[in-house]
Amino acid sequence: MRKLKTSDIFAVMRLIKKANLKEEIRPVVALAASDEFNVTDLGIEGILTVVEIFTEKKSEKAIYEFLSGPFETSVDDVENMGLNELAENLKVLAEDNDLKTFFTILQGMIITKS
């Protein structure tokens, strides 16, 4: 698995735009970026909350596309991944990355694109 990088911010922004979810995702991103919130608490539960928001808007394929980058696998592999493997990969993604910085940058982009 690779670390999150700049292109992942733009991939998430495309996902948010495609799903027309800017307003729905804004509070989650703001919470993850806030100084009062411990980003490690966001962990897998927070990531799954974000995934749930996206799946409600039928953006399933876009989620697979995004996750295939940091997971370093194909979109089809993400789509067919076992639940235990998905959970473990999401846990590693959360533990191995500075999610506070990632969400702070994402929050700034969401606000400036309003």
CA distances from 40 to 17, 68, 96, 98, 104 (A): 26, 22, 10, 9, 14
H-helix or E-strand spanning residue 101: helix 99-112
Structure tokens that stand for 47 in this block: 């990531």
| pLDDT in the model for residue 28 | 76
pLDDT tops 70 at residue 111: yes
What are 12-46's pLDDT values in tens digits? 888 888 877 788 778 777 777 777 766 556 666 66
- List, in sequence order, every beta strand (DSSP E) within 5-69: none
Domain ranges of the chain: 6-112
| pLDDT in the model for residue 26 | 80
Structure tokens that stand for 11 in this block: 């991939």
Query: Locate tokens 């694109």: which residue?
Result: 113
| CB neighbourhood size of 10 (10 A) | 12
| pLDDT in the model for residue 15 | 84
